[in-house]
Structure 1
Amino acid sequence: MLTTIVKSFEELTKQELYKLLQLRNQVFVLEQHCIYLDLDGKDQKALHVLGYKNKELIAYTRIFKPGDYLEEASIGRVLVVKNERKHHYGNQIMEASIMAIKEYFETQVIQISAQCYLRKFYGDLGFSEFGEEYLEDDIPHIGMIGSF
């Protein structure tokens, strides 16, 4: 079972910030072989959803209110550490992120920029595709939206 905590940028401890940035680099830069600027200046606007198993950070997302990143509320930088993915923590961190958007931003419409290979994962959570595929950091993406 995943334990989740939602924090603003200012509420993150130095250790939490270091660990989440380390995990983002591990997944998005090393695993996906994608060289991009992870520190994009958006973390300060986001709420950070931290997923813990046995006090170890293993899952993460950042969420935005409508207009701070995309037109609708949004979820990004979705990750689960590789050796924990088989336990479906991706579903749990996404469900926690959806609940946090409803609670903190009082909206039910959520837009994401999904990596194309994760279409089914996000579709099973209730997101629908819209628009054309596009490249973001040389990785195929598709816009998806859901009402929760």
Structure 2
Amino acid sequence: MNFVFKHFSELTTTELYDILQLRAEIFVVEQDCVYNDLDDLDKDATHQFLKKNGKIVAYSRLLKPGTRFPDYSIGRVVIKETERGTGLGIQMMEEAKSFILNEWQAVKIKISAQKYLRKFYEDLGFKVVTEEYLEDGIPHFGMLFERK
């Protein structure tokens, strides 16, 4: 399965709708987190996603420096519940890192990781660089991946 990488301006209306639907399904409904998902950063982002049977089942948002953080970043990482535990999240993050490091020639990648996913991201080479903090009422850590 190959992930698709598209800038916002390249997304079809159906792809955009499916992305926003999946993000709402996970962040708002599943995690019971009320926040403004539409933060204007989508317009400047490259959107990574994977379709299975015509539906988007995995997604992340890639941002260049100066949008959310001073460094390149990956955010809004979601895997449809039925696809978790299959290795899809690892594959998605490895491909996102590769895209940012190779296409954008980045040296560092920043993420704001939910606390319960700390080990998942550490296993992908990210290191905790902040104290624990609350983001939208959920405990997070700032984490950084650096090219070796």
TM-score by length of 2: 0.95
- Separation in 2 of the partners of 1:32 and 1:142? 17
Structure 2, unpaired ranges of 5+: none
The SS at the match of 1:86 is coil
Which residue is equivalent to 1:145? 144
1:79 aligns with 2:69: no
1:120 aligns with 2:119: yes
- The code of the aligned residue for 1:18 comes to Y
Checking the alignment, whether the CA contact within 8 Å between 2:18 and 2:55 is kept in structure 1 is no
- Separation in 2 of the partners of 1:30 and 1:64? 25
RMSD: 1.1
- Separation in 2 of the partners of 1:104 and 1:22? 28
- Separation in 1 of the partners of 2:107 and 2:48? 17
What is the correspondence of 1:29-68 to structure 2 with a 5 Å cutoff?
A: 29-68=28-67
In the TM superposition, what is the alpha-carbon distance from 1:53 to its structure 2 partner?
2.9
TM-score by length of 1: 0.95
Count of paired positions: 147
Runs of 4+ in 1 over 4 A off after TM superposition: none
- Separation in 2 of the partners of 1:101 and 1:41? 20
- Separation in 2 of the partners of 1:141 and 1:43? 21
Checking the alignment, whether the CA contact within 8 Å between 1:3 and 1:53 is kept in structure 2 is no
In the TM superposition, what is the alpha-carbon distance from 1:78 to its structure 2 partner?
0.3
- The code of the aligned residue for 2:10 comes to E
Identical aligned residues as a percent: 48
In the TM superposition, what is the alpha-carbon distance from 1:54 to its structure 2 partner?
4.1
Checking the alignment, whether the CA contact within 8 Å between 1:4 and 1:49 is kept in structure 2 is yes
Post-superposition Cα deviations, 1:40-98, rounded to whole Å, max 9, x if no partner, equal 11100110001223443110000011222111100000010001002111111111111
